[in-house]
Each structure stands twice: as C-alpha cells, then as structure tokens.
C-alpha cells in the first residue's frame, strides 16, 4: 500500500483530530460572557480599563490573561450570621438579637475588582459593614421603639432607612449599589425574655386601667347629661300638661255655664252624642225607650223646652 493510499485510509481520524484541536484552541483562546454577567480581564495581573460586555471574546491563555466574572443581577445577602442574628444593646441597655439582609448589585466591575477581586471577598466585607452599622444604629434607639403594641411608637422603618444610607456610603466607592435593607428577625435573649414580657404586661395593664378610667368618666358624664335632659323634658311636659288642663277647664266652664241655662237640652245633646257613637253604621236595633239614651224618642219638644210657644186655638 502506498503512502498516499495510507493517508486517505486514515483521513477520518485525522479530521476528527483537527476538529478536537480546533475546539481545544478556541476554548483556550476565547471566553463567553452571559447577558447577566460582566467581567474584568487581567493581563499579567493588570486589569483591563473597561469591563467586558456580554458575548464571545478572545484572550491569551492563563497565566498571561485571566477572566474574573461578576453577576450584574440584584443579589440578596443576609450576611454570614444568617437568621440567627447578632446580639446588641439598645440605648436603654436592653439586649436584643437582630439580623438584617440587603439587596445589592455590582454596578462598576473595575472598582469591585480593585477592592475585593472576588464576590466571596466582597460579601465578606459587606458582612463586616452590616454588623458594624447594625450595632451603631440599633444602639441609638430604645427598646420600646423596636417592640411596641402602638404602631406610632415603632421606628423600625426609620432604622432600616438609616442603615441603608450608611451602607450605601460605605459600598459606593467599591462599585456596589445597595438598593434595600430589611430586618430578617428581631428577638430577645431567652435569659431576659420573661422579665421583658412581664414589664410589657404591666405597661399594658397601666394603659388598660387608664382607658377604663376614661371610659367610666365618660359614662358618668353621659348619664348625667341624659338625666338632666330627662328632667328638663319631664318638667317641660308637666308645664305643658298644666297649660292644657287649665285651657280645658276654662273651655269646660263655658260649656257648663251654657248647660246650666237649659239642663234638659244638655242631657238631650249628651244622649245624641251617645247615639252617634253607638250607631256609626246602618244598624237595626230593638230598643227599650224607657232606658237612656233611647228615652229621647218619647220626649216631646215642650218638655225639652226647645220648641216655641204653642199658638192658641
């Protein structure tokens, strides 16, 4: 077999070797940056002037050049203390255990690399800043401003804003933007929790007694006002009744004076009123004309003295 024929018989293996070598060279001399990343390329330890944008880029292999990638997305960081928190003192010397978290983003990769090189080291420094600022800010407030049943006395939102302001000032020179600070937990050490709760219960009892006293005072005031109004209305009604009674007596006196002039006429009119009351609708009755008021049917005009004098025949 000739040399040429041997070459053609092994060309698939050779082609595969060239392809593998090409991929190997591309992997060595290039790197890919995702859309969520930014990177700093160092040449013999000197960082590039500008961060590398997302896409495919060429580079010299390590150790000539090295690539440091940084996530550009917002990261939530609770510190190395986690949810257990750290113990600190309030302004009135009350022990509390508090933990916070922050939302941060790397906005300047070159400054971040110059300050920390890696995210792990950067977050270690962030943790130190968080611990120091937390101790400082919480130490300026009393326990009653952190734990209270009255929302108006709480200052947690203000504390978060103060911590955010201080952390922003510390992190900005390193290319970090801190957008939010929150409180993960706020607890009381078990050794003093009972005494704190007892004190809070006593404070609540004092407040409750204050409100009860105010309620009793207000109830007494309302009852006094109601009784006064009741007495005024009763007195007014009694006076009104006297006026009506006096007016009725005066009107009755007029009628009595008229009735005294003709007693028979008065009795006749009263009986007519009784008949009107009894016979309001069409009624058929069998009556005893000897009983009042039906005896009027037997009366004559002369007896009642309501007819004029009879003419002489």
Residues 147 and 174 in one domain: yes
pLDDT > 90: what percent of the chain? Answer: 22
Residues 67 and 154 in one domain: no
Residues 94 and 60 in one domain: no
Say what the pLDDT of residue 295 is: 65
Is 145 in a helix, a strand, or coil? Answer: helix
Choice among 116-130, 198-212, 292-306 with the minimum mean pLDDT: 292-306
Residues 182 and 83 in one domain: yes
Residues 60 and 161 in one domain: no
In whole angstroms, give the CA distance from residue 242 to residue 249: 10
What HEC string does 229-276 produce? Answer: HHHHHHHHHHHHHHHHHHHHHHHHHHHHHHHHHCHHHHHHHHHHHHHH
Q: Are 128 and 138 in contact (CB under 8 A)?
A: no
Question: Where does the pLDDT of residue 83 fall: very low under 50, low under 70, confident under 90, or very high at 90 and above?
Answer: low
Evaluate if pTM is beyond 0.75: no
In whole angstroms, give the CA distance from residue 50 to residue 39: 9
Say what the pLDDT of residue 309 is: 47
In whole angstroms, give the CA distance from residue 274 to residue 267: 11
Residues 83 and 168 in one domain: yes
The H-assigned helical ranges of the chain are 3-9, 11-29, 109-116, 119-138, 156-171, 190-261, 263-278, 301-304
Is 121 in a helix, a strand, or coil? Answer: helix
Domain that holds residue 24: 19-71
Is residue 161 over pLDDT 50? yes
Question: Where does the pLDDT of residue 210 fall: very low under 50, low under 70, confident under 90, or very high at 90 and above?
Answer: confident
Q: Are 41 and 52 in contact (CB under 8 A)?
A: yes
Residues 61 and 82 in one domain: no
Q: What is the pLDDT of residues 58-70, one digit of tens each?
A: 777 778 878 888 8
84: in domain: yes
Is residue 121 over pLDDT 70? yes
Of 106, 100, 117, which Cα lies nearest the Cα of 37?
A: 106
For range 143-165, the mean pLDDT: 88
Q: Which of 33, 55, 71 is a domain's end point?
A: 71
Which has more confidence, 52 or 74? 74
79: in domain: yes
Which has more confidence, 103 or 32? 103
127: in domain: yes
For range 183-209, the mean pLDDT: 75
Question: Counting Cβ atoms within 10 Å, is residue 14 exposed (0-12), middle (13-18) or buried (19+)?
Answer: exposed
Q: Are 47 and 39 in contact (CB under 8 A)?
A: no
Of 141, 130, 133, 136, which Cα lies nearest the Cα of 90?
A: 141
Q: Are 72 and 106 in contact (CB under 8 A)?
A: yes
**How many domains does the chain divide into?**
2
Is residue 166 over pLDDT 80? yes
Which has more confidence, 268 or 43? 43
Residues 83 and 37 in one domain: no
36: in domain: yes
For range 76-90, the mean pLDDT: 78
Q: What is the pLDDT of residues 1-31, one digit of tens each?
A: 555 555 556 666 666 666 776 666 666 777 7
Please state, as a whole number, how many other Cβ atoms lie within 10 Å of the Cβ of residue 98.
21
Say what the pLDDT of residue 196 is: 63
Which has more confidence, 280 or 312? 280
Is residue 297 over pLDDT 70? no
Is residue 194 over pLDDT 70? no
Q: Which of 71, 98, 131 is a domain's end point?
A: 71
Of 78, 77, 74, 76, which Cα lies nearest the Cα of 185?
A: 78
Question: Where does the pLDDT of residue 44 fall: very low under 50, low under 70, confident under 90, or very high at 90 and above?
Answer: confident
99: phi then psi, degrees, rounded to nearest 5 = -135, 145
Residues 61 and 95 in one domain: no
Q: How far apart are the first and last CA of the chain?
A: 188
The mean of the pLDDT values for the chain is: 79
Residues 122 and 176 in one domain: yes
- Could you tell me the CATH number of the domain that includes residue 142? 3.30.479.30
């Amino acid at each position: 077999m000739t040399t040429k024929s041997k070459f053609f018989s092994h060309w698939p293996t050779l082609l595969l070797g060239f392809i593998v070598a090409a991929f190997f060279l591309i992997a060595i001399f290039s790197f890919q940056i995702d859309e969520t990343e930014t990177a700093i390329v160092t040449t013999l330890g000197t960082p590039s002037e500008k961060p590398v944008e997302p896409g495919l880029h060429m580079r010299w292999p390590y150790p000539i050049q090295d690539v440091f990638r940084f996530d550009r997305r917002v990261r939530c960081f609770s510190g190395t203390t986690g949810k257990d928190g750290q113990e600190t003192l309030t302004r009135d010397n009350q022990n509390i255990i508090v933990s916070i978290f922050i939302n941060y983003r790397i906005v300047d990769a070159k400054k971040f690399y110059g300050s920390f090189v890696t995210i792990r080291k950067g977050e270690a420094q962030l943790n130190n800043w968080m611990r120091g600022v937390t101790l400082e800010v919480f130490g300026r407030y009393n326990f009653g401003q952190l734990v209270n049943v009255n929302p108006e006395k709480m200052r947690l939102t203000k504390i978060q804003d103060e911590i955010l302001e201080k952390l922003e000032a510390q992190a900005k020179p390193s290319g970090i933007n801190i957008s939010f600070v929150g409180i993960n937990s706020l607890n009381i050490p078990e050794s003093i929790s009972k005494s704190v709760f007892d004190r809070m219960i006593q404070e609540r009892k004092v407040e409750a007694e204050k409100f009860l006293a105010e309620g009793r005072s207000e109830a007494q005031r309302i009852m006094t006002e109601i009784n006064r109004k009741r007495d005024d209305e009763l007195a007014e009604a009694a006076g009104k009744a006297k006026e009506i009674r006096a007016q009725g007596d005066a009107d009755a006196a007029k009628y009595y004076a008229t009735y005294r002039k003709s007693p028979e006429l008065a009795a006749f009119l009263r009986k007519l009123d009784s008949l009107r009351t009894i016979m309001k609708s069409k009624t058929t009755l069998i009556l005893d004309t000897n009983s009042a008021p039906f005896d009027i049917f037997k009366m004559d005009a002369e007896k009642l003295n309501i007819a004029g004098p009879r003419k002489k025949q």
